[in-house]
């Protein structure tokens, strides 16, 4: 008999064991009706695929976009994998530092940096990508000669939009970067580098979900050509690194990882062959593509009901954890798995059902008209591909608590799953504190002419 090569389980199959074990251990159930889960082995595998796809150029830095999973243990896992971190706010910078990223491996991007943010980044040695000429002038005033921060300028190559306008950052009127094709802008960029020998990086980010590889690659190619033009004008290689952003879209239709990092690099090679000849160090800022398929949300089915001939399963995973899906279901569809009360894959008769959430508005539905094994009270649903942006950054609608998050890995002997806490479920005391409990009487004591502070 010819031996066969073992087939690696798909994400859905891989997660089935974790769902069953989470229910057994009480991580999902009556006391904790919704939780997020991160597959740590999967995360390490995604980082390895990223590194394998890109050439080993000197100085290349792969950073993780903190906004995709702003959880310190997740960030620390990525730091342990050798990643850097891209941040876009004071909070994200704090989380990156707490997670253990070296300041030199952190890149600060934001279109609205305050002077204090810039001052702190420069003091720490964090790289900064200025988003505008006005921000460059602020850096002029705040930078000291002994600063070790790598400093760059973000440009908008204006190559157009993908299928989701809100995720496309290289449109003609995008709020990000210097609009490269506006009258006089290209010349102004060259002048900005001419007067600032410490300005050594060029940055662009075309977009993410909904953006085809060809569009992203075209924006990177335009940025590369601009770097070549600036260096030629200055007769020296002042620009030594190019930050090409992130933005690899994720396939939400099935378990397949597509497009791959290898396919992205192939598109870059075709659009800008010189990008990989070793003259420029590269920075990447991937987020969703590293985490999305390595996480899921599990939620208890609290009730089921019928309305207008449609079965509705009311669960605890709605707009508070899947905000984009609820408000833009066509752009952000999620696959749903049905599990029984023991956390085992559902085997009942197939039935067309809506999967609704707990939020008090009619549109709080994460999946419409899905054919799934019939769900009953006490069963569970799983929302796949939610490892990025979903449970890590929940919406506080209805004062619903932030769900607990757990990391998991298969046991060393291959039998069973081990869990580790990432974030505790939010308590009602914490909700009250965040809602101003310490100042409960402040407004009732406020009278005309009196100071309330």
Q: pLDDT tens across 15-69, in order?
A: 999 999 999 999 999 999 999 999 999 999 999 999 999 998 888 999 999 999 9
DSSP, residue by residue, 438-453: GGTTTTTS--TT----
Model confidence pLDDT, tens digit, residues 154-163: 998 888 888 8
Confidence at 224, pLDDT banded by 50, 70, 90: very high
Tokens of 35: 């939780």
Query: 185-194 and 133-142 are packed helices; what angle lies between their axes, rounded to 10 degrees?
Result: 10
CATH of region 11-38+293-429: 2.40.37.10
Q: Looking at the predicted structure, is the pLDDT value of residue 189 above 80?
A: yes
Closest CA to 378 of 425, 334, 343: 343
Whats the size of the chain, residue-wise? 453
- Domains 11-38+293-429 and 41-290 fall in the same CATH topology: no
> Domain coordinates of the chain in residue numbers?
11-38+293-429, 41-290
How far apart are alpha carbons 51 and 68 in whole angstroms?
19
Mean pLDDT score of the chain, rounded to an integer?
93
pLDDT higher at 175 or 364? 364
Mean pLDDT of 353-379: 97
pLDDT at 451: 59
pLDDT at 450: 56
Q: Looking at the predicted structure, is the pLDDT value of residue 175 above 70?
A: yes
Q: Looking at the predicted structure, is the pLDDT value of residue 5 above 70?
A: no
Confidence at 11, pLDDT banded by 50, 70, 90: low
For 230, other C-beta atoms within 10 Å of its C-beta total 23
User: Is residue 374 packed enough to be buried (19+ CB in 10 Å), middle (13-18) or exposed (0-12)?
Assistant: middle
How far apart are alpha carbons 293 and 39 in whole angstroms?
9
Q: Looking at the predicted structure, is the pLDDT value of residue 390 above 80?
A: yes
Residue pair 359/399 in contact (Cβ under 8 Å)? The answer is no
pLDDT at 257: 94
Catalytic residues: 360
- The listed CATH number (3.20.20.10, 1.10.3430.10, 3.30.230.10, 3.30.465.10) that belongs to domain 41-290: 3.20.20.10
Q: Looking at the predicted structure, is the pLDDT value of residue 87 above 60?
A: yes
């Amino acid at each position: 008999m010819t031996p066969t090569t073992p087939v690696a389980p798909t994400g859905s199959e891989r997660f089935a064991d974790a769902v069953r074990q989470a229910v057994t251990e009480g991580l999902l159930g009556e006391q904790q009706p919704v939780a997020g889960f991160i597959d740590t082995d999967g995360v390490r595998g995604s980082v390895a695929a990223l590194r394998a796809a890109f050439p080993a150029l000197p100085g290349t830095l792969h950073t993780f976009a903190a906004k995709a999973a702003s959880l310190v243990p997740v960030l620390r896992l990525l730091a342990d994998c050798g990643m850097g971190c891209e941040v876009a706010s004071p909070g994200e910078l704090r989380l990156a530092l707490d997670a253990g990223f070296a300041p030199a491996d952190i890149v600060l991007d934001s279109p609205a940096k305050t002077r204090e943010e810039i001052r702190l980044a420069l003091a720490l040695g964090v790289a900064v990508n200025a988003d505008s000429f006005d921000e460059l002038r602020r850096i002029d005033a705040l930078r000291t000669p002994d600063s070790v921060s790598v400093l760059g300028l973000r440009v908008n190559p204006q190559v157009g939009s993908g299928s989701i306008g809100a995720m496309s950052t290289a449109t003609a009127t995008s709020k990000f970067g210097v609009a490269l094709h506006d009258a006089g802008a290209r010349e102004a960029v060259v002048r900005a580098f001419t007067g600032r020998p410490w300005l050594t990086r060029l940055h662009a980010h075309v977009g993410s979900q909904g953006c085809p590889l060809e569009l992203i690659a075209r924006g990177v190619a335009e940025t590369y050509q601009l770097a070549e033009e600036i260096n030629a004008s200055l007769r020296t290689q002042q620009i030594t690194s190019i930050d090409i952003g992130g933005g690899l879209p994720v396939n939400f239709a099935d378990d397949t990882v597509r497009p791959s990092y290898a396919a992205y690099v192939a598109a870059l090679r075709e659009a800008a062959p010189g990008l990989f000849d070793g003259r420029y160090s590269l920075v990447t800022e991937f987020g969703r593509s590293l985490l999305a398929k390595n996480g899921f949300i599990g939620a208890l089915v609290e009730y089921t009901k019928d309305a207008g001939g449609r079965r509705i399963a009311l669960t605890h995973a709605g707009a508070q954890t899947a905000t984009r899906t609820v408000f833009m279901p066509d752009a952000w569809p999620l696959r749903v798995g049905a599990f029984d009360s023991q956390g085992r894959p559902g085997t009942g008769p197939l039935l067309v059902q809506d999967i609704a959430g707990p939020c008090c508005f009619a549109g709080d539905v994460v999946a419409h008209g899905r054919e799934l094994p019939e769900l009953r009270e006490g069963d569970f649903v799983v929302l796949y591909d939610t490892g990025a942006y979903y449970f890590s950054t929940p919406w506080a609608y209805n004062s619903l608590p932030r769900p607990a998050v757990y990391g998991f890995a298969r046991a060393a002997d291959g039998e069973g799953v081990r869990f580790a806490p990432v974030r505790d479920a939010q308590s009602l005391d914490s909700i009250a504190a965040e809602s101003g409990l310490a100042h409960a009487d402040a407004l009732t004591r406020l009278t005309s002419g009196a100071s309330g502070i």
